[in-house]
Amino acid sequence: MASTLWLLWRLFWQLLGPITTFAFLVVVVIVASLAYSHNATIPRVRRKNQPVHLLLVLGSGGHTAEMFSMMKNIPLDPTHYTYRTYVVSSGDDFSAKKAKEFESGFLKKGESDYAIVTIPRARRVHQSYWTTPLSTFQCLWACFDVLLGRYPGQVRLPMNYLSPQPDLIITNGPAVGFCIVLAAKMIRFYESVSRWMCGSSSTQAVSRLRTIFVESWARVNGLSTTGVLLLPLADVFLVQWRSLAGRRAWPGMKQTQYAGAAVLPNPEGKEHIKGVQS
């Protein structure tokens, strides 16, 4: 018995070195890939009058209120962002209702110009941290399906859209926003690697799935948990207080950009958000 335990102990230490080295190399590759993709300029290949698909991530309560306040202050131009998808979490009837009110009341558009997609929550209120990884993975999987246009019950885009993928994604803090941005980053990475392996020089696919994260107006001195997680992932990271400007995930990464109070009438925030999608 003692000899068996000794052999297992020796085997453990013999494997520990290679496993640790492999894990370290994986981390280095991930960090380097994030740094490269985060600072790379995303090519713009869109024609002037080509329709734009905008995806907005809504969260219960304050996140949704801030999002629609921003969209009214920009203001959102339905002739430019010609189709809009709203992503809400299961059980969030408030956000779905506000999306309908925004479309019919502020934009004065019919149901053929937008879609509301309900996906599983990343984490429910008071949910155990032991079960959170499972629900987050379920949410992430649903986000992949939404971005690829194949989520159950998702309405197909009109025929004049070349891809089911949204051109621009805006989120402002709900947990599902992290899953959406992470899924978008992974899809873009996969498509880039696929084109590189096939020797293709086409850049059209990577012009889609651009991501903007707008930190909550309530965050004055520190970033939210979602903000910290998205700092190395979002293409553009906007903050509404000067005290949060210039922050990086780590040296060499993009800085957070001060956009003024985007939830209030503000020309700075308007130009920052509208300038991402020409």
Each residue's pLDDT tens digit, 33-65:
555 555 555 555 555 677 889 999 998 878 999
Cα–Cα dist 161/190, whole Å: 21
Q: Which domains does the chain have, with CATH numbers?
A: 52-277 (3.40.50)
The helix (run of H) or strand (run of E) holding residue 101 is helix 93-101
Is the C-alpha dihedral spanning 119, 122, 123, 129 positive or negative?
positive
Give yes or no for residue 243 having a pLDDT over 50. Answer: yes
d(CA 1, CA 132): 40
How far apart, in whole angstroms, are the C-alpha atoms of residue 157 and residue 163?
A: 8
Look up the pTM and report it: 0.83
Token output for 188: 């873009």
Cis before 152 (ω within 30): no
Of 131-135, 204-208, 224-228, the least confident: 204-208
pLDDT for position 32: 53
Going by pLDDT thresholds of 50, 70 and 90, the confidence category of residue 275 is low
Q: Contact, 47 vs 41, CB < 8 A?
A: no
